[in-house]
Structures are given as C-alpha cells and as structure tokens.
Structure 1
Amino acid sequence: MSRPGHYRSAMSAELSVLDPVPSAVGRGWGRALTEMRELARAADRAGYARYWVTEYHASPLYLSSATPILLGQVLAATERIGVAGCSMLPNHPPLVVAEQFGTLATIYPGRVGIGLGRAPGTDALTAGALRRGPADPAAFTSSITDILGYVGHGEPGGPGSRVRAVPGEGTRTPVWVLGSSVNGARVAGALGLPFVVASHFAPSQAEAAVATYRSVFDASAPTATIEAPRVAAAVNAAVAPSDDEARSLFSTAMACAARLVSGAPGPLEPPLEDPEGWRALAAGREGAVEEAMRLSFVGAPETVVTGLRDLEERWGLEEVLVLSYIYDAAARRRSYELLASAWRP
C-alpha cells in the first residue's frame, strides 16, 4: 500500500471525541446516556474541539440511534465545544437532515456540524425498516449536494426548487464526508469537502483513502466549502497514568472487538484479568481482531501523544477523533483528560 507521505502543516491538529455511546454490563441505557453528558462536560473543560456522535441502529452495544437528539443533549450540557453528528444518508431524506441539524445550528450558532456517511450503520433487516425502499448507492452524492444547498452552501434544493429547510436555511452548517475506503474519499475530494476516515475500525484502507482524497480534491467544485484538503482520522485510545494500567483498561476494547468479529456483540464488560484474555473470545479469528484494532494508542499520556503525533505528521491530519472503550465511566473521562493535557504544546 502506498503511503500519503508527510503532509504536516505548521498548525497542530485539533483533538476531538468520537462517542458511539456504548452501553455497559451492569448499567442501564439511561445511565449510559447520563455518562455521555458527563463525558461531554469533561471534554468541554479539557479543551477538545468537537464531540462527534455516531449513528447505529438496533445494536446491543451502541445507543446512538437518534443522533440529533443526543447532540442536543451534549450542546445543552456544555458551554463551548463544537458538536458533529454522523448522519448515515441511506436512512434519512436530505431535507430532514438539513432541518434537524439546522435547528440545532439555529439554537447553538457556530457549534454544530454534519458528518455524512453512505453505510446504514445496522443490519440488512433494520436497514430495510429504516429506508422502507430499496437502497440507491448512486444517491449518496446527490443527497450531499441537496443538504449543502438546504443549509446555505448553494441553492436550496437545486436550481429552481422551492423546497426550503426551515430552520436550517442560511446556517451554512459545516459538512464532512465520512468514509472507510477510497470510495468515500473520492466523493469527499470531488465535492471539495472535508473528509473523515474511519480508521478506528478499517485501518488497512485508511492510508489509501487519505491519499486518494488528496489526489482528487477539487477546490473549484461548485459544492466546495474549503480551499485545501482537510483530513480527520478516527483512532482507538486508552490513556492512564501508567502503561500497565492503560493496557488493562484497553482489554475491554479488545474483548469488545473480539465479540464483534465473532458475531456476538454485546455491552462493554470490565477489564480482563489477563489483557490477552480476549483471544479466547475471538473464535479463531484473532488476526481479524488485531487488524481491526491496529490503529490503537494505549499507554501513559506521553506514550499515546508520541504515537498520535507521528500519525498526525504522516497523514497530515487537521483533526484526530479519539474513541475510548473503557468500562469504568470515571476512568474513561480520565483517559480523555490526560490525553488533552499532554496534547497541548
């Protein structure tokens, strides 16, 4: 695989939180949503740039099915941090996306962004229930263009259309394209939009996606909202005062990945007594688990920052989205706090 090379700019990358709102064994769904708000407050105080919330449906692990509602909770619980929601376009009419995010952007000016993805974020049966019609992969680009117009990055609804997003119209809400492969990267680059690569679960394709995005980026596209490529990458991390403690905390993430790969996903569980105990859960698919979690940074703050700075330089990142699967809510908040403190120059 070819490497994108060294693209480091003079500015340091922004650090953001990526939260799929995981459930945890022994704690109900309501508690998980409360912990989301508590983590958002901690991230706000620690200086994180954005709080990203994913979109998943019918998941035994993730509770982020109603993304705009969760973003509203995060915004209400914080003072200055930006928020961005992942909206999976097969599931939503573009006008509804523009109205929902535009409403948030009207209430909280300058704090709201939209991440647009092409996967449904669920199984085929649930995807069918969400869409109530056949999927149309070719509609991804046109849906993005419609949303851009509705929120003020072009003509609402296309030339001659009387369709309007109210509220939302004129908010010029920032829009990112989400992707885990070169396909999403090509769409982002051709449209002249920022790109977020899902390298936290698809690391093998991430470098090629970043390189493809840069090679096709078109600042002159009618839809372009930026003048130069802008790349964000999602990574897994666990930070603690010592490397040993961080490895112990991270065993929760590895066990979670092992269950996902084995087809038996479930809520987060406490750390394993043996950090390598996840191998017994992998059902002979240890290699697949290790590959899925390859872009993970685990250790004391200095250890993790060193790894992230190297990735920032190699990929030329403008933003790093950090995802932490840590069972204990206080330890999870501490992980983010330690990383933010060590990240600052």
Structure 2
Amino acid sequence: MSNKKSLSDVKWSVLDLAPVVESGTVTESFQNTLDLAQHAEKWGYNRYWLAEHHNMPGIASSATSVVIGHVAGGTSKIRVGSGGIMLPNHAPLVIAEQFGTLDALYPGRIDLGLGRAPGTDQVTAQALRRDLGNMGDDFPYQLDELRTYLDPDRADSPMKVRAVPGEGQDIPIWLLGSSGFSARLAGREGLPFAFASHFSPDNTIPALELYRNTFTPSEVLEQPYAMVGANVVIADTDEEAARIATSLQQQFVNLVRGNPTKLKPPVASMDGIWSPYEKAALDQQLRTSFIGSPETVKAKLQAFLDETQADEIIVNGQIYDHDARLRSFQLLSEIVK
C-alpha cells in the first residue's frame, strides 16, 4: 500500500483484560475497569473491549457479557464490546440473546468480537464445554448459526427457535484471530477482522495479507477493515516505562510456566526472575510491545502502523498501578492525535 498513514489517521481503542493485581481484589479490578473506560471515553478512544479468559487469577473478565454491561452502563458514547467472546465455549443462541440484551440496553454501542480458541487450558475447556469434540473446527457453522439468530432472513426455512432479544438487531460482528483461520473466514464473509498481534507477532502480516486478499464485499463492509493489537506502556521516561512493564513480563513468564498469577508489582530488574530461554521467548512473543517515553513509543507505533497499514489499533496495558495505567493511556491519546 502506497498511501502512508499517520497515527492520527487511524482509530485507537482499548483492550482491557480486567487485571487483578497481587494486592487487590476482583471488586477493585472492576472498579478500575470502569474508571479506565470513563477516562478512555473522555480521551477520545473509539471502543473499549473486554476479553474472555478462564482459570486465570490475574484476569477478571471471564463473564465477559456481564462486564460489558457494567462498562456500557457507566459510560455514554464509547463503543463497548468483546475482544472476544470464545464462541465454541457457548451456544450461539445464548450469545445472540446476551448481546441482543446488551444492544437493547445500550443501542448502537455494542460490538460482538468472536474468537474460536477456548481462552484457557484444556482441562478448563472441558469444564466449560463438557465435550471436547468441538475444538473450534466447526466455528464457521457456529458463526453462521449466530448470525442467523440475529438475522432470520439468512435462514433457508422459517426459524423454529428465535433469539429474543437479538433477532432483528444490528450488532456488529468482528472475527478475532491469532492465525490465518479467522483471517480467511473474515475475508470470505466480508466482516471486520482483529488480529492478536500483541501476543502473536510473527503471524500478523501473513494473516492481514490473507484477510485482505480473500476479502469479499458484503452488506457489512465494502472494503476490508483490519484492527491489530499492541501492548503499550508509556511513562515520562524510558527507564520508568521499562520498570512498569516488568509486571507484564512477570505475568507472561508465569503463564509460560503454566502457573498463571495475579499481576505482580514492577521490579527494578527481571534478572533472576526469568531464565535466558524465557527471556528470549518473551522477547519474541511480546515483540509487538511498545514501551518507553511518549517520544520513543510514538516512533515505534508509527513503524508498526507502516508495517501493518491497520485501520485501527487496540491497545492492552497490563500495568500494576492504576494511576500509572491511566497515565499511560492518557499519554498515548496525546501522541496519536
């Protein structure tokens, strides 16, 4: 693509994992989530998404639809949605009803982002699904079933089961992915696509190319619309941002070790916490993490945008101290104007 985009040309959004910090509670996590959402709305962010994860002590947004309602009820303009709902964990009818309810309560503000991974480990996936025969292979059929509940005109015959609320409501559906599967499906269906580049950087460009090359115009979109994820930690200096970012690094180390924990306080150095192998693995997996002062991060984000040519960037900020988290998102809003 020849037309270079500047940071002000694209939309900016927030991905919130509702972090539970080591010294905090889930109640405090939800209070902080709403506070960040209210600030994000004031600072001009486009949307505020929450993610479905399970069996993770440091992530409180497992009942994603409920938290979306909490955020939407405490804000007035910003779009609120899922980044994403892991559809194979649920009956499509239930998701149609839940998001139909949210859309009826907060008209024109709700997004439904869908993923096909379990959002957890295999043991927890079995507890969620009971039957592990479905590991996302039939995601296209689940997607079609969900879309048909929302729009019965898609059905070949009269619907015997109807989604109330949900039926006839115009709820934007996004496909989320960290590989090429959902990229191809989103392209084929003419839906907007969000790629999880914040933890799958190597697959970002191939997935975006696949999405754009397979895109078929639809009643939803005439042209492809791609959003990419990024981890961003901004502070007044590079050194302070690097210190704050050690909370994210510790969380990933523990996740790699199979021992997910609450978000830990930052440390002066990660030396002695991670092994050389773990450091190399995290450096690779967290390559789409932009950490530093406003000037440092602005240059890195522009290079990321040049590479991806994204239409929107959604930012995750796993920061231990809530005031520092607010400060990071405020500084980001200022450098992308």
For 2:195 and 2:147, the matched residues in 1 are separated by: 20
Q: CA deviation at 1:158?
A: 5.1
User: Which residue of 2 is the match for residue 189 of structure 1?
Assistant: 187
Name which of structure 1's ranges 305-314 and 53-62 shifts more when overlaid on structure 2. Answer: 305-314
User: Which residue of 2 is the match for residue 53 of structure 1?
Assistant: 50
Gaps of 5+ in 2: none
2:244 matched to 1:249?
A: yes
User: Which residue of 1 is the match for residue 336 of structure 2?
Assistant: 343
8 Å Cα contact 1:23-1:32 kept in structure 2: yes
Pair 282,50 (structure 1): closer, same or farther in 2 beyond 3 Å: farther
Q: CA deviation at 1:283?
A: 7.2
Alignment of 1:66-145 (within 5 A): 66-85=63-82, 86-136=84-134, 137-145=136-144
2:306 matched to 1:313?
A: yes
Pair 44,184 (structure 1): closer, same or farther in 2 beyond 3 Å: same
For 1:138 and 1:104, the matched residues in 2 are separated by: 28
For 1:255 and 1:16, the matched residues in 2 are separated by: 25
8 Å Cα contact 1:178-1:196 kept in structure 2: yes
Pair 263,7 (structure 1): closer, same or farther in 2 beyond 3 Å: farther
Q: CA deviation at 1:303?
A: 2.1
Q: CA deviation at 1:9?
A: 5.8
8 Å Cα contact 1:282-1:289 kept in structure 2: no
Which letter maps to 1:22?
A: P
For 1:229 and 1:117, the matched residues in 2 are separated by: 18
8 Å Cα contact 1:68-1:101 kept in structure 2: yes
Name which of structure 1's ranges 18-27 and 123-132 shifts more when overlaid on structure 2. Answer: 123-132
8 Å Cα contact 1:182-1:209 kept in structure 2: yes
Instruction: Say which SS state the counterpart of residue 220 (structure 2) adopts.
Output: coil
For 2:205 and 2:69, the matched residues in 1 are separated by: 33
Q: Once the two structures are aligned, what percentage of the paired residues are identical?
A: 38
Aligned residues: 334
Instruction: Say which SS state the counterpart of residue 238 (structure 1) adopts.
Output: strand
Name which of structure 1's ranges 83-92 and 163-172 shifts more when overlaid on structure 2. Answer: 163-172
- Output one character per residue of 1:128-149: Cα deviation in whole Å (capped at 9) or x when no partner: 1211223333320111122222
Pair 92,6 (structure 1): closer, same or farther in 2 beyond 3 Å: farther
Instruction: Say which SS state the counterpart of residue 188 (structure 1) adopts.
Output: helix
Instruction: Say which SS state the counterpart of residue 281 (structure 1) adopts.
Output: coil
**Structure 1 vs Structure 2 CA RMSD:** 1.8
Q: TM-score, normalised by structure 2?
A: 0.94
Name which of structure 1's ranges 312-321 and 131-140 shifts more when overlaid on structure 2. Answer: 131-140
Q: CA deviation at 1:282?
A: 4.1
User: Which residue of 1 is the match for residue 285 of structure 2?
Assistant: 292
For 2:305 and 2:162, the matched residues in 1 are separated by: 39
8 Å Cα contact 2:110-2:172 kept in structure 1: yes
Q: TM-score, normalised by structure 1?
A: 0.92
Name which of structure 1's ranges 211-220 and 190-199 shifts more when overlaid on structure 2. Answer: 211-220
Q: CA deviation at 1:186?
A: 0.9
8 Å Cα contact 1:259-1:282 kept in structure 2: no
